Structure 1
Amino acid sequence: MIDTLKILNLLLRFILELILLFSLCYWGLHVQSGVFMQIVLGLGLPILAAVVWGLFISPKASVRVPLFVVLFIEAILFAAAVLCFISSGFVTFAVIYAVLAVVNRFIILKWKQQGFDT
């Protein structure tokens, strides 16, 4: 049973990561700065977030940093996603998303699912 819950927690994590990328893309494509900036932000922000995630946060990160650095970078990325949702008018979804992200991260730390010593 606990193994099933661990798998579901990792699935939730993956979904939260995809939503993070979507929020940055959606906000970037709807910012009122002209078509060129919409394209640059709509594509550039999610790519930048994915690169940072891959370098520092992912389980197979190419740059190993202490856990507190991982948590700090992750908090910035998830906060950016929440702010993008709020700015786009999805306030209720932003709050639910933020709560799920915090609870998910807590469970990952509790169950030692990321491979860091806590």
Structure 2
Amino acid sequence: MKPLLSALAFLLELAMLAAAGWWGFTLDTGWPVRLLAGLGAPLLIAVVWGTFCSPKAAVPLPAPAKLAVQAACFVTGGALLALAGRPVPAVLLVALWAVDKALLSLAGDPV
């Protein structure tokens, strides 16, 4: 069960990055801004995730702080997707992450 939940967590992380990119590329502005936002938003989230949340994080955090950063990244991804006009997938993204994270915790996986 734990490998399946971990795989789902990874897929949700990719979906979070895709949501941020979707927002940027659907902005109602010129193509240079859309390109910058569409590539920059996921890159920024990926840098934050890699710095604080990845298994080889450059800045290891205590479990509650790491969970807070993860939640902030997913809420940001969900908010950007909602701003792009996709509120239902945005809520599903954040809700699925929360359920997956809770099930992983029950399975004994650290944050």
TM-score calculated relative to the size of structure 1: 0.86
Q: Does 1:65 align with 2:61?
A: yes
Hey, what does 2:32 align to over in structure 1? 36
Measured in 1, the distance between the counterparts of 2:94 and 2:51 equals: 23
Aligned residues between the structures: 111
Measured in 1, the distance between the counterparts of 2:72 and 2:38 equals: 18
Match of 1:46 among 35, 42, 46: 42
Quote the offset at 1:60 in angstroms. Answer: 1.7
* Greater C-alpha Rg: 1
Gaps of 5+ in 2: none
Quote the offset at 1:110 in angstroms. Answer: 2.2
Hey, what does 1:8 align to over in structure 2? 4
Q: Structure 1: which 4+ aligned runs deviate by more than 6 Å?
A: none
- 1:86-112, Cα deviation, whole Å (9 max, x unpaired): 112222222222211101111222223
Q: Does 1:75 align with 2:68?
A: no
Hey, what does 1:99 align to over in structure 2? 95
